[in-house]
Amino acid sequence: DADVTQTPRNRITKTGKRIMLECSQTKGHDRMYWYRQDPGLGLRLIYYSFDVKDINKGEISDGYSVSRQAQAKFSLSLESAIPNQTALYFCATSDPTGVGTDTQYFGPGTRLTVL
Amino acid sequence: DQQVKQNSPSLSVQEGRISILNCDYTNSMFDYFLWYKKYPAEGPTFLISISSIKDKNEDGRFTVFLNKSAKHLSLHIVPSQPGDSAVYFCAASEGLRSGSARQLTFGSGTQLTVLP
């Protein structure tokens, strides 16, 4: 079974709709992240959470919100989807034990299309 | 402005030869660097990393070189295999010495194609 899972894997929605993307992990990591990938731009950080009570904005948080329901679950919401939020979304986790251990483990991604 | 740049969107190499993927950065505070590999329909997977106190790190067929003065790192794959065909992302973080929470900044990726 995958350590980091994302649901749904694909979603097509319309402008103005509320969308929630979910991420679950069985790695036991405290830190979780949401990224989006756009062609030619790599991965950009939307939000991150270092524990259940800690939520931080990333580089491109406008138009998004998150919820850390438990150590293992981190959800990303688009309150009112717009077409330029069409992208590939990735959830990731990390466990920063020791020095330099920024290694993040990614889920398989959610392809979101906003019409 | 992008702090981590991968200027080559694509690279094709013959099987058995060396693949060299390059990455440049502008933030002198970056002190830890990683390479990720991504296959279609999958998330990125960690490949190899290097801290700024080193200039080389090797893991099997993969070697990462860091040139701090030039703010440049490269990933060498020798010998290249068709299964290495994927998008490769470099990433960087800062704050290694302080041990504070760190974020990763990613480059835009390079599509490597290894031809049989």
A38-50 per-position pLDDT tens digit = 988 889 999 999 8
Measure the CA–CA gap between A105 and B26, rounded to whole angstroms.
Answer: 25
How confident is the model over A51-60, as pLDDT tens digits?
889 999 998 9
The answer to whether B89 and B33 have CB atoms below 8 angstroms apart is no
Please, which pLDDT band fits residue A24 given cuts at 50, 70 and 90? very high
The answer to whether B63 and B57 have CB atoms below 8 angstroms apart is yes
The candidate with the shortest Cα–Cα distance to B87, out of B58, B32, B47, B27, is B47
Is A47 in CB contact (< 8 Å) with chain B? no
Q: For residue B4, which residues of chain A lie inside 8 Å, CB to CB? A: 42
**Residue A100 above 80 pLDDT?**
no
The answer to whether A86 and A113 have CB atoms below 8 angstroms apart is yes
- Using only the alpha carbons of chain B, give its radius of gyration: 14
Measure the CA–CA gap between A91 and A110, rounded to whole angstroms.
Answer: 9
What percent of chain A is predicted at pLDDT more than 90? 74
Measure the CA–CA gap between A91 and A16, rounded to whole angstroms.
Answer: 23
Nearest to B108 among A42, A45, A102 (CB): A42
Nearest to B34 among A4, A103, A108 (CB): A103
Is B57 in CB contact (< 8 Å) with chain A? no
Structure tokens that stand for A6 in this block: 């994302």
Q: Which residue has the higher pLDDT, B2 or B60?
A: B60
- In chain A, what is the greatest distance between 2 CA atoms, to the nearest angstrom? 44
Q: For residue A106, which residues of chain B lie inside 8 Å, CB to CB? A: 36, 43-45
Mean pLDDT across the stretch B57-81? 97
Residue in A47, A102, A104 to test binding to B, most B beta-carbons within 10 Å: A102
Tell me what pLDDT residue B95 has. 64
How confident is the model over B36-52, as pLDDT tens digits?
999 998 999 999 999 99
